[in-house]
Amino acid sequence: MSDTAPRAPKRPRVDPLYDPRVRAAVYQVLLLLLLLWLGYQVAVNVRANLVAQNIATGFGFFGITAGFGINQSLIPYQEADTYGRAFVVGLLNTLLVSAIGIVFATILGFIIGIARLSPNWLVARIAGGYVELIRNLPLLFQIMFWYVAVLSPLPAVRQSIGIGFQPLVQRLADGLAWLNFDLAKAAAGLVQRFAVWIGPPEVFLNNRGLIVPEPYFHSGAGIVCAALLAGIVATIAMRIWARRRLDATGQTFPVFWASIGLVVGLPLAALVVLGFPVGLVQPELRGFNFVGGIRLIPEFVALVLALTTYTAAFIAEVVRAGILSVSRGQTEAAAALGLPRKRVLNLVVVPQAMRVITPPLTNQYLNLTKNSTLAAAIGYPDLFSVFAGSTLNITGQAIEIIAITMAVYLTISLVTSLLMGWYNARIQLAERA
Amino acid sequence: MNSIDNTMTEGNGSQLRFVRRAMVPERARPLAVDVIGAIWRRLFGGVFNTMLTLVSAFILVALVWPTFRFMIWDAVWDGASRVDCLEETLKRPVGACWPFVQAKFGQFIYGFYPEAERWRPNLVFLIGALLLAPLLVPGAPLKRINALLFFVVFPIVSFFLLVGGRFGLVHVETRVWGGLLITLVISFTGIVASMPLGILLALGRRSPLPAVRVVSVAIIEFWRGVPLITVLFFATYMLPFFLPPHWNVDALLRVLIGVTLFSGAYLAEVIRGGLQAIPRGQFEAAAAMGMGYWKVMGLIIMPQALKYVIPGLVNSFIALFKDTTLVLIVSIFDLLGQVRTSFSDPNWATPVTLFTGFAFAGIIYFVISFAMSRYALAMERRLSTDHRAT
Amino acid sequence: MTPQQQELRQTRNPVAVDIVGLNKWYGSFHVLRDVDLRIARGERIVIAGPSGSGKSTLLRCINRLEDWQEGSVVVDGVELTDDLKKIEDVRREVGMVFQQFNLFPHLTVMQNCTLAPIWVRHMPRKAAEDLARHYLERVQIPEQAGKYPSQLSGGQQQRVAIARALCMQPKIMLFDEPTSALDPEMIKEVLDTMVMLAEDGMTMAVVTHEMGFARQVANRVALMDAGQIIEMSEPARFFENPQHERTKLFLSQILR
Indicate whether B192 and B298 sit together in one domain.
Answer: yes
Which run of H or of E encompasses A94? helix A83-116
Enumerate residues 117 to 136 of chain C having a beta carbon within 8 A of any beta carbon in chain A.
Answer: 117-128
List the one residue out of C102, C61, C40 whose CA is nearest residue C224: C61
pLDDT class for C61, splitting at 50, 70, 90?
Answer: very high
As a whole number of angstroms, the distance between CA B305 and CA B206 comes to 14
pLDDT class for A103, splitting at 50, 70, 90?
Answer: very high
Indicate whether B324 and B378 sit together in one domain.
Answer: yes
Rg (CA), chain B: 30
* Mean pLDDT, rounded, for A203-212: 84
Q: What is the DSSP letter of A7?
A: P
Indicate whether B68 and B171 sit together in one domain.
Answer: no
Q: What CATH number does domain A88-164+201-213+285-424 carry, 1.10.3720.10, 3.40.50.20, 2.40.50.100, 3.40.50.620?
A: 1.10.3720.10
Strand partners, A280: A215
Indicate whether B161 and B43 sit together in one domain.
Answer: no
Indicate whether B43 and B175 sit together in one domain.
Answer: no
Q: Identify whether B247 is part of a domain.
A: yes
As a whole number of angstroms, the distance between CA A333 and CA A331 comes to 5
Find, in chain C, the residue whose alpha carbon is nearest to that of B22: C230
| pLDDT 10s digits, A278-288 | 777 777 777 77
Set of chain C residues whose Cβ sits within 8 Å of the Cβ of B35: none
Q: Which amino acid is at C197?
A: L
Enumerate residues 224 to 263 of chain A having a beta carbon within 8 A of any beta carbon in chain C.
Answer: 246-252
- Torsion, CA C217, CA C220, CA C221, CA C225, rounded to 10: -150
- CA dist A8 → A20, A180, B138 (Å): 20, 101, 57
Enumerate residues 2 to 21 of chain C having a beta carbon within 8 A of any beta carbon in chain A.
Answer: none
Q: Look at chain B and count its residues.
A: 390
Q: Do C102 and A340 touch (CB under 8 A)?
A: no
Indicate whether B211 and B136 sit together in one domain.
Answer: yes
As a whole number of angstroms, the distance between CA C177 and CA C163 comes to 16
| pLDDT 10s digits, B45-76 | 778 888 888 888 988 988 899 899 888 888 88
Can you spell out the DSSP letters for B253-300?
Answer: HHHHHHHHHHHHHHHHHHHHHHHHTS-HHHHHHHHHTT--HHHIIIII
Indicate whether B75 and B140 sit together in one domain.
Answer: no
- Provide the 10 A C-beta neighbour count for residue C251: 17
Q: Do A122 and B60 touch (CB under 8 A)?
A: yes
Q: Do C118 and A348 touch (CB under 8 A)?
A: no
Q: Do strands A284-286 and A278-281 pair parallel, antiparallel, or not at all (unpaired)?
A: unpaired
Q: Identify whether B92 is part of a domain.
A: no
Asked whether this complex has an ipTM greater than 0.90, the answer is: no
SS3 content of chain C, % helix, strand, coil (to 5): 45, 25, 30
Enumerate residues 212 to 251 of chain C having a beta carbon within 8 A of any beta carbon in chain B.
Answer: 219-220, 222, 226-234, 237, 243-244
Indicate whether B255 and B358 sit together in one domain.
Answer: yes
Strand partners, B385: none
pLDDT at position C73: 92
pLDDT class for C7, splitting at 50, 70, 90?
Answer: low
As a whole number of angstroms, the distance between CA A17 and CA A23 comes to 7
| CATH 1.10.3720.10 residue spans of chain A | 88-164+201-213+285-424
The enclosing domain of B103 has a CATH number of 1.10.3720.10
Q: Do B373 and A136 touch (CB under 8 A)?
A: yes
Q: Which chains touch C (3 or more CB pairs under 8 A)?
A: A, B
Enumerate residues 60 to 89 of chain C having a beta carbon within 8 A of any beta carbon in chain B.
Answer: 69-70
Residue with the larger pLDDT of the pair B157 and A59: B157
Asked if A166 and A200 count as a contact pair (C-beta separation under 8 A), the reply is yes
Q: Do B19 and C30 touch (CB under 8 A)?
A: no
Q: C204 touching B, CB under 8 A?
A: no
Indicate whether B206 and B286 sit together in one domain.
Answer: yes
pLDDT in 10s for each residue of chain B, 390 residues: 333 333 343 333 334 788 888 888 888 877 655 667 777 777 777 788 888 888 889 889 888 998 998 888 888 888 888 888 887 887 788 888 888 888 888 889 888 888 888 888 888 889 888 888 888 877 777 777 888 888 888 888 888 888 877 777 788 788 888 889 999 999 999 988 999 999 999 989 988 888 889 999 999 999 999 999 999 999 988 888 888 877 778 888 999 999 999 999 999 999 988 888 888 888 788 888 877 778 888 888 887 887 788 888 888 899 999 999 999 888 888 899 989 888 888 888 888 888 999 999 999 999 999 998 998 888 888 877 665 443
Indicate whether B63 and B104 sit together in one domain.
Answer: no
**Of B207, B212, B219, B229, which to mutate for an interface test with A (greatest number of A Cβ within 10 Å)?**
B229
Indicate whether B137 and B269 sit together in one domain.
Answer: yes
Q: Which residues contact A429 (CB under 8 A, 6 or more apart)?
A: none
Q: Identify whether B77 is part of a domain.
A: yes
**Of A249, A253, A337, A431, which to mutate for an interface test with C (greatest number of C Cβ within 10 Å)?**
A337
Set of chain C residues whose Cβ sits within 8 Å of the Cβ of A335: 65, 91
Give the structural domain span for B75.
35-81
- Give whichever of A27-36, A205-214, C79-88 has the largest mean pLDDT: A27-36
Q: Which chains touch B (3 or more CB pairs under 8 A)?
A: A, C
Domain count, chain B: 2
Give percent above pLDDT 90 in chain A.
28
Whole-number mean pLDDT of chain A? 85
Say how many CB pairs under 8 Å bridge B and C. Answer: 70
Q: Do B29 and C233 touch (CB under 8 A)?
A: no
- Provide the 10 A C-beta neighbour count for residue A36: 10
pLDDT at position A279: 76
Phi, psi of B164 (to 5 degrees): 70, -155
Q: Do B17 and C30 touch (CB under 8 A)?
A: no
Q: Is residue A219 predicted with pLDDT exceeding 90?
A: no
Indicate whether B256 and B357 sit together in one domain.
Answer: yes
pLDDT at position B82: 81
Q: Do B10 and C43 touch (CB under 8 A)?
A: no
